[in-house]
Chain A
Amino acid sequence: MNRVWSVLFLLVPVLGIASTLMAMYGIAPLESAWLPKSLSQAGDTIDQLFNGIHLLAAFILAGTVFTIGWALWRFGDRQDPNAKARYITHNTKLEITWTVIPAMILVFLAFFQMKSWAENKMDRPTVTVNGVSTFKPPMVMVKAKRFGWEFYYAGADGIVETQDDVFVENLLVLPVGEEIVLQMESRDVIHSFYVPELRLKQDIVPGMTQFVWFNAREEKDIEIMCTELCGWGHYMMKADLNFVSRAQFDAWIKEQESAYSPEFKNAVETTASRGEVNTVVPPRFSSASGSQLGFKN
């Protein structure tokens, strides 16, 4: 009977690791689980970390839980009533070993991942204007609200929150192969901007301004999810995100400009009057034509 329990515990790492590998390498029936295919270089780095730490974890899981199952198998069925357990209270050498080795692994992990974090969250892209390096100006201002997304493309002037902004709701169209910076603010409660394919997530906190950046490499239609509870309609706070070629993007944004409405102009003026953002002056563009909207260095 004791062997049954041993097998039960041995099954934990076997099934656990097998299903994790199935999810990781997209084997049916878990092919759609785990994470979708990464769309960016930064996402690939995160994936490597994600999979790497999981493989390490699988190794440790196998080691520890197999030992537990084996201990149950070997020591759980002693028939001899006179047999006594071994009287061992401690083993200092063993304690030091299983403290120092994991410590080294953890410290390595801690330092190893810092670069990826910095790339994703700390090293905001810069541009050089007249020999002075400044932060790259955001291409789109994202305003999160209950329960939808507003996107304000920097208009001809290349600055968000000015009168020539192009406004689109619940649809974000962006060119591929370019480093894109988004500026994000909330109108009411906390929201969170999540694009699984880009391995990108950032909470949008009222009263604060956030910046995210990414560089997608493939034309694809994906979705933006809200991942911070924002009220009863939280579940339906989604927007479409379409990555298109530069040419398609230029054509699309031109269409949007013509749809610019006077009511909206008012709304922008109100937000712009807050004057909290854009302390850095980005490069200006002389012409209003869409082809010059880009921020290529």
Chain B
Amino acid sequence: MAEVSVKNSIAPDRKGNVVSRFVWTYVFATDHKVIGLQFLFSSLIWFFVGGFLALAVRWQLAWPWSDMPIFGHLLFAESGGQMSPGFYNMLFTMHATIMIFFVIIPILAGAFGNYLIPLMVGAEDMAFPRLNMMSYWFMWPAFACITLSFFMPEYGASAGWTSYPPLSVFQGDAQSLWLLAMVFVGISSMMGSINYLTTIIQMRAPGMTMFRMPMTVWGMFITAIMQAFALPVLTAALLMQLSDRILMTGFFLPENIAINNGVASSGGGQVLLWQHLFWFYSHPAVYIMILPAMGMVSDIISCFSRKPLFGYRPMVYSITSIAGLGFIVWGHHMFISGMNHTLAMSFMVSTMLIALPSGIKVFNWIGTLWGGKLQLTTPMLFCVGFVSMFVIGGLSGIVMSAPPVDIVIHDTYYIVAHLHYVLFASSVLGVLGAIYFWFPKMFGRMMNEKLGKIHFFLTFVFLNGTFFPMHFLSQMPRRVADPYIYEGLKDLLPLNQFMTICAIGMGLTQLIFVANFFGSMFFGPKAGRNPWNANTLEWTTASPPPHGNFDVQPIVRRGPYEYSHPDTEGDYYPQTETS
């Protein structure tokens, strides 16, 4: 072990008692791996908070106005435990906010981006370690704001995660906290994305050309570019809304609107301006929430098919074109918003086109599977699950990209089905697969395969039971606390109860994952450097890797997917191996 080559300038040996060592290692951590794990753990904790909120939403839809278990009597003692309609609005608002901004984006970009980028490109750390530390720290004011907002009189922001004005401008103080939290999350992501871009462009190991980078790194790279371009717009919009609320400006408020019998605003603003600004970020955010997962899934599928990724370059080009097109499709969220109807046509064409690179990715994944020597490990199952669920999410996307069809299904449960197939059934399955795959690298121990497979099976069955029937509720509006006041929707109650039971099952299933995760962390069998016989650079170093990552400077000699190469004896051919 050539200690000299490991520059330990980043985390020098700390002396002193346990507390000070803990603080210096885990709070003032500049090591990309520690920061990655910090993001991972905080995201997983929020994942459970967000999940609880989702179950409460499902509870209300299955047994409306009945006593809410556990929290009902705590929060609504005077009504005998039934939630208020405003509380319901808070539930879905905070569920979406937490899942998007505190779970999926930080776990993909924050946790896996931080952990994997330097390891996979052969760098000793991020380009800006202290900026990296700041990017995690900026999550904490956001956590504080959101936690505080739960203790406001309305129990949290309740204008939907889209926070359309004028409604959001006339909400209680929780909305201001929500806006502040989003600003902090944005700053955090921005710092992260600058860091990723610099690291990927500047710090690749010798021989690691752009087209020898694993797809994971490509996914993170394109995501970072999208964040860097889209986030300033969202931040500006958030501050404008904050100023409408606090400084009585009127960016988003027209004249002559009256709320609660009082006249409200100075006027002169445009309501739709917010929607344009918001979706200009939030549609690219949809791709920010899936491109890194696509990258990781590509790596894992290739590894367990023992076969090169089919069409590596088309895969890179398709991610790039998804990102490019992703910036010109935001209007498909606004087909019926009152936006110029002619404009809808151009957004429709760009939206249809984005199905093309997504389709190319699916075909290439299938091409990778075909003719392989498949090893159906837990991470592989999650990734094959990702591909098949992404097909469903992508196809329902084509359905709703047709504006005449969108007239009917806009703001109904069909949309909810679609977005959960993309964000939960795709992104979250990809994330879980990635956790099972890189857990040995992160903690030096293997996860339990049997529990992993049970976890996959139950999650897969319950998620389809929860989300597939939502396609059939294409006339039931979303964000409605009691849909059954409409005669036409009364018959949908049994279907909703079925979905809620599946959702509860899915929630309980995740406890298997928690047990497996913490059990394996302490008692799992020790993993060697390369338990999966994979090619990429992170598997050439110890598990978990030391500060500075590599014993010796890795020299990259080939692409990341040379599995079953005819020139070699074994079925893998690490990127650094001399031929």
Residues of chain A touching chain B, judged by Cβ–Cβ distance below 8 Å, are 1-2, 5, 8-9, 12, 15-16, 19-20, 23, 29-30, 32-36, 45-46, 49-50, 53-54, 57, 60-61, 64-65, 67-68, 71-72, 75-76, 78, 83-91, 94-95, 98-99, 102-103, 106-107, 109-110, 113-114, 116-117, 120-122, 146, 186-190, 192, 194, 196-197, 199-208, 210, 222-223, 225-236, 238, 274
Question: How many whole Å from A77's CB to the nearest CB in chain B?
Answer: 8
18 contacts between A and B (CB under 8 A): A16-B392, A57-B395, A68-B388, A72-B374, A76-B376, A78-B374, A86-B307, A88-B310, A89-B311, A91-B310, A120-B407, A186-B257, A187-B258, A203-B337, A210-B338, A232-B85, A232-B86, A235-B485
Q: B residues within 8 A CB of A109?
A: 352, 398, 402
Per the 8 Å Cβ criterion, residues 47-89 of B in contact with A are 84-86, 88-89
Interface string of B358-387 (1 = CB under 8 A from A): 011011101101111110100001001101
Q: B residues within 8 A CB of A228?
A: 164, 411
Q: A residues within 8 A CB of B137?
A: none
Q: Which of B404, B469, B565 is within 8 Å of A113, CB to CB?
A: B404
Question: How many whole Å from A84's CB to the nearest CB in chain B?
Answer: 5
Q: B residues within 8 A CB of A23?
A: 471-472
Residues of chain B touching chain A, judged by Cβ–Cβ distance below 8 Å, are 84-86, 88-89, 158-160, 164, 166-167, 170, 254-259, 264, 269-272, 305-308, 310-314, 336-338, 341-342, 344-345, 348-349, 352-353, 355-356, 359-360, 362-364, 366-367, 369-374, 376, 381, 384-385, 387-388, 391-392, 395-396, 398-399, 402-405, 407-412, 457, 460, 464, 468-469, 471-475, 477-483, 485-488, 491-492, 494-495, 561, 563-566, 571
Task: For the complex, give the distance between the alpha carbons of A15 and B236 in Å.
Answer: 46
| Apart from A207-B257, A223-B486, A234-B480, 14 more pairs, CB < 8 Å | A16-B468, A36-B488, A46-B405, A71-B372, A75-B370, A76-B376, A91-B311, A95-B314, A103-B356, A117-B404, A120-B407, A207-B269, A229-B164, A234-B479
Determine if A2 and B356 form an interchain contact, defined as CB atoms under 8 angstroms apart: no
Closest B residue to A31 by beta carbon equals B491
The main secondary structure of chain B at its interface with chain A is: helix
Task: For the complex, give the distance between the alpha carbons of A85 and B259 in Å.
Answer: 67
Task: For the complex, give the distance between the alpha carbons of A87 and B306 in Å.
Answer: 9
Ranked nearest first, the 9 interchain pairs of A and B with the lowest CB-CB distance are A207-B254, A33-B472, A32-B491, A232-B86, A57-B395, A86-B371, A235-B481, A116-B404, A85-B307
Task: For the complex, give the distance between the alpha carbons of A15 and B479 in Å.
Answer: 28
Task: For the complex, give the distance between the alpha carbons of A65 and B410 in Å.
Answer: 27
Determine if A227 and B366 form an interchain contact, defined as CB atoms under 8 angstroms apart: no
Known A-B contacts A85-B307, A223-B487, A235-B480; A206 and B160 likewise in contact (beta carbons under 8 Å): no
Determine if B391 and A64 form an interchain contact, defined as CB atoms under 8 angstroms apart: yes
Question: How many whole Å from A11's CB to the nearest CB in chain B?
Answer: 9
Closest A residue to B477 by beta carbon equals A227
Task: For the complex, give the distance between the alpha carbons of A199 and B402 in Å.
Answer: 14
Determine if A61 and B460 form an interchain contact, defined as CB atoms under 8 angstroms apart: no
Known A-B contacts A86-B307, A95-B311; A205 and B477 likewise in contact (beta carbons under 8 Å): no
Determine if A232 and B89 form an interchain contact, defined as CB atoms under 8 angstroms apart: yes
Q: A residues within 8 A CB of B369?
A: 68, 71-72, 75
Closest A residue to B259 by beta carbon equals A188
Determine if B396 and A57 form an interchain contact, defined as CB atoms under 8 angstroms apart: yes
Closest B residue to A221 by beta carbon equals B487
Q: Which of A9, A98, A116, A274 is within 8 Å of B388, CB to CB?
A: A9
Q: Which of A16, A19, A113 is within 8 Å of B402, CB to CB?
A: A113
Determine if A72 and B376 form an interchain contact, defined as CB atoms under 8 angstroms apart: yes
Q: Which of B385, B488, B495 has the most CB of A within 10 A?
A: B488
Q: A residues within 8 A CB of B473?
A: 33
Q: A residues within 8 A CB of B158?
A: 232
Question: How many whole Å from A110's CB to the nearest CB in chain B?
Answer: 5
Q: B residues within 8 A CB of A71?
A: 366, 369-370, 372, 374
Task: For the complex, give the distance between the alpha carbons of A288 and B457 in Å.
Answer: 70
Q: B residues within 8 A CB of A8?
A: 457, 460
Q: B residues within 8 A CB of A189?
A: 164, 166-167, 170, 257, 259
Task: For the complex, give the distance between the alpha carbons of A233 and B485 in Å.
Answer: 12
Determine if A122 and B341 form an interchain contact, defined as CB atoms under 8 angstroms apart: yes
Question: How many whole Å from A94's CB to the nearest CB in chain B?
Answer: 7
Determine if B488 and A222 form an interchain contact, defined as CB atoms under 8 angstroms apart: yes
Question: How many whole Å from A82's CB to the nearest CB in chain B?
Answer: 10
Determine if B314 and A90 form an interchain contact, defined as CB atoms under 8 angstroms apart: yes
Question: How many whole Å from B274's CB to the nearest CB in chain A?
Answer: 10
Q: A residues within 8 A CB of B356?
A: 99, 102-103, 106
